[in-house]
Amino acid sequence: MTALSITPMFSGFAPQALTFEVVGAPTIDELGRVVWPAATEVELTAPIHVASDRKRLERIPGYDAKREVQVVYLTGAQWQQLAGASKELVLQYDGHRYEQLAVSDHIHAADSVLWMGAKLDEVGS
């Protein structure tokens, strides 16, 4: 896994579209093996806001201060498009794939924005 800083690419950037690879919750079979459902791709379109928000990130379980992380802000409607994907998400952008760090169901009081953190460790391209 190659650490890749995407701060210049993402910070303060509002992409027109982001593609999420949506994977549902895994199950365990009779042999005790983890079985992952097949992934599907969902493209979300603007408005999408991506920014560094360390204050919020520190509240995310599993947050590692040594890693650079960004928050992808999604509206409630966008979040609904990822319904059933709350367990595993992979963010794809500009030919790179990024692991999800954590997802929060926190609802922003002002505009019902849901948000998530995307780990910046590149997992493949």
Partner 1 sequence: MSGPYFDRLQAGLRALVATVLPSATVAWAPTTLPETQVDSPLVTLQRRGGGWAPGEQHDVLPPRLLPTQAVLTVTGNAANTRRVTIDATGATWQVEVAGGTSDSDFRDAIQAALGALGHSLRATFTPIGATQLQLDGDFLGALGSKNPMRVVGDATVSTITEQLARIAQGSEQSFVQVEAKAPFMSGQTTDPLAAHALLGELRAALHEHSKLLGTYGLALRDVTTTVDLTRFAGPGWQSRAAFDLTISQNANRATAIAAAQSVATSFTDNTITIDSEVAAP
Q: Does residue number 105 form part of the binding site for partner 1 (CB under 8 A)?
A: no
Q: Does residue number 62 form part of the binding site for partner 1 (CB under 8 A)?
A: yes
Residue choice 31, 65, 83, 109 for contact with partner 1 (CB under 8 A): 31
Total residues contacting partner 1 (rule CB under 8 A)? 16
CA angle 45, 51, 56 (to 5 degrees): 115
Give 21 or 49: the residue with its C-beta nearer to partner 1.
Answer: 21
CA angle 66, 68, 72 (to 5 degrees): 140
Q: Which residue has the tokens 């953190």?
A: 117
Q: Rounded distance, CA 89 to CA 86, Å?
A: 7
Give 36 or 43: the residue with its C-beta nearer to partner 1.
Answer: 36
Give me the residues paired with residue 94 across strands.
none
User: Which residues of this chain interact with partner 1, rule CB under 8 A?
Assistant: 25-26, 28-34, 36, 61-63, 87-88, 102
